[in-house]
Structure 1
């Protein structure tokens, strides 16, 4: 009986010392380490949200998206409403009319815009650099003879001497230029006008002018300049019968958006900035050149450019953390193969220390990134963790051959992940090829392990 119990204890001890049991424990530890890794991911999301709040706060003060809708010529006209008047003595009812002022709106025949958008990186709040821009926008074109026949308005009812020019735009508080427009040889000043409807546009309107006097040659040429502080995007509504937009900027990562695409033959994007042109004709969009009573909402026809950061530091940190499970798993696999091939014992506690060191890489990465570039932070955090694990491996493995191999393997792994993070279009392809090669290497080195005796 005593010999039987000793044999059972030996068998039990031999199982926990077997390769299978050690593999199970290392696999379980890998899953447990996903818990602190998730906390690190939560920290990245929290810091990213904090940056977004600061960026939104700065954008509110500096200037947000720039939308431009105009210029539009407004001409008041009279309409007549009939109403009944009853004589109190005779009780007879007569129909009378009263004049009501409405407005007719006319879009320009030609609208040209040349804009230069300059990136401003000096705006800093705390540890965050807020990337905003200043836009210098030059407009010119002309209004032709208004087509009042399409509106069904009697010309005698139009008050030509009370015409005005209207511009609808966002960021009124962030306009930095003098608000005036030149109509033929006459200069008029813009003044802000309260909106009667709920819209994100603000309205600028000139003082009144006499259209017939000013348009003696049949058209009114205009030109004016708008200078904005803004962020995120610049967009236009193509109100001209022919609308031509030319954008130049030192922003190296634009995203062209909206209903109309930029001209591919003239569009250029490089490290020094971009240039883009649009030419939109009235046949390219389905709205009229004149309206009576109300200016329509034409936001669905907007187009322009969104000025983006392709991958900011928190997005890069988040992408790096997604490979955390891969880094921990492959590092543990390297140690496990060394342990199995060399018969050197590695305690589960030592695996835990190695795993925690790997997780510390991500906390180092995000904290250093906030005070420098992502690339520099990645190098510092990577070197620190590789040196720590390699030095710890010397005491575990009792030689220098395996720690050198571990250090080189970790260097290759972190370099591989950094390359994937920097890539956009080829990240999946490079990642798939890299994992295939890693799997091939594991299969090659594991072929010497005698699994039958473990």
Structure 2
């Protein structure tokens, strides 16, 4: 009797294991719970893949920034501006401690008035080219910029400044640019006299909070200027050659500003506060854009006292950046990874439940890992090709792998082919959503509704009481 009792006791764990395995095979609830747990576990590799995409995207930005800094960053040109000094006076009361008397002392200081041109014509020729480093590339350019215009009589009456306090023999002309490093030529002719520019240090050499730092170029003292010099408008002409990257912008400071820009770059995009007025700006050779901007079109005046205002927000220009949206699209596709894994597991679950074919948790895990491999293939291939080709290669590879693997699990070709077609439709649906912008939400919602309706229809025959 003791021997028999001992034998039964030793077989108890094996019986419990067999019962658990049998329950896992036969219970719908157990299989459903197992599929849910595996789906959640596979979120871990999806999270690491998303981090990989972020890292590669940041690396791409760093390389582009490094190339741009060596060649020359984006160009924002702000000029030309007359800088006219004038005297101001203030009174200060001083008390003599010995005599206990007070007296008033007049203090003199120098302030500056800034006057914009009455008309400004900007003519620019920009020829971009691609620069590559490894698998990353960016657009840089050489630009020839000509600024022509004239200044009318400066009006000091707005600030109630006495004309006799204006220091005409210290007047200068200034131009501000975001890209001092890229300037190779800067020449000015004003009132038939040639001038050179010199840069002035402003104490800010680095970008802060993604804002451009403007550097000032100014001439020596302009010769022979007085209030009588403006009986006729004083003409000026500036010639600039600047190396830059990514984009080029101008600020329309003329009472009337006209601008033309020609280039051999066909993928440019126009942006800023003002857009070209000509509809035929794109040509077979590139583009030829024209602007016409009046002082009525912008909310700032033609003269400023004390300090030159920051007017970056009113600039207009052209963007030459090479669009690199592969990482953005890959990141968007990873966000649908949970949906792809969940629906694929649900498909296998329904096949397993309706056909009574046993699928082991390990096989579910292999299928899930194959689905996550889609995203690593997508990211790595898209770095060397376009997104569509990478998506096709990754999709065909993963769908073929899962279809062939399903044949070893499900024996016949009927279910594996159905799975392959379903995955093809799902990946096609996700690709369409990724390409859409304005209609992504509505198309995605309709697609998920249809998928839910199909699942509800197929699962209506399942006996959910068998748990």
Out of 143, 146, 157, the position equivalent to 2:151 is 143
In 2, distance between residues paired with 1:238 and 1:67?
Answer: 11
Aligned to 1:218: 232
Corresponding position: 1:378 with 2:391: yes
Paired residues for 1:51-450 under 5 Å = 51-77=60-86, 102-121=111-130, 123-176=131-184, 178-195=185-202, 200-207=213-220, 208-211=222-225, 215=229, 218-247=232-261, 250=265, 252=267, 254=269, 256-257=271-272, 260-262=273-275, 266=279, 278-304=291-317, 312-450=325-463
Larger CA deviation: 109-118 vs 311-320: 109-118
Per-residue deviation, 1:78 = 5.2
After superposition, the CA RMSD in angstroms is 3.7
| Structure 2: runs of 5+ lacking an equivalent | 1-7, 94-101, 206-211
In 1, distance between residues paired with 2:103 and 2:357?
Answer: 112
In 2, distance between residues paired with 1:433 and 1:95?
Answer: 81
Return closer, same or farther for 1:427/1:82 CA change in 2, 3 Å cut-off. closer
Per-residue deviation, 1:446 = 2.5
In 1, distance between residues paired with 2:213 and 2:318?
Answer: 18
Return closer, same or farther for 1:95/1:388 CA change in 2, 3 Å cut-off. closer
Are the equivalent residues in 2 in contact too, given 1:151–1:290 (CA < 8 A)? no
Q: Give CA-to-partner distance per residue, 1:169-205, whole Å, 9 cap, x none.
A: 11111124x2112334333322223337899211112
Q: Calculate the TM-score normalised by the size of structure 2.
A: 0.81
Aligned to 2:3: none
Are the equivalent residues in 1 in contact too, given 2:153–2:231 (CA < 8 A)? no
Aligned to 2:28: 19
Q: Secondary structure at the match of 2:181?
A: helix
Return closer, same or farther for 1:268/1:331 CA change in 2, 3 Å cut-off. farther
Per-residue deviation, 1:376 = 1.7
Aligned to 2:96: none
Return closer, same or farther for 1:145/1:453 CA change in 2, 3 Å cut-off. same
Per-residue deviation, 1:54 = 1.7
Return closer, same or farther for 1:378/1:9 CA change in 2, 3 Å cut-off. closer
Are the equivalent residues in 2 in contact too, given 1:111–1:142 (CA < 8 A)? yes
Q: Give CA-to-partner distance per residue, 1:336-361, whole Å, 9 cap, x none.
A: 12212222111111010000011111
Larger CA deviation: 9-18 vs 327-336: 9-18
Aligned to 1:87: none
| Structure 1: runs of 5+ lacking an equivalent | 85-92
In 1, distance between residues paired with 2:388 and 2:228?
Answer: 61
Q: Number of residues paired by the alignment?
A: 441
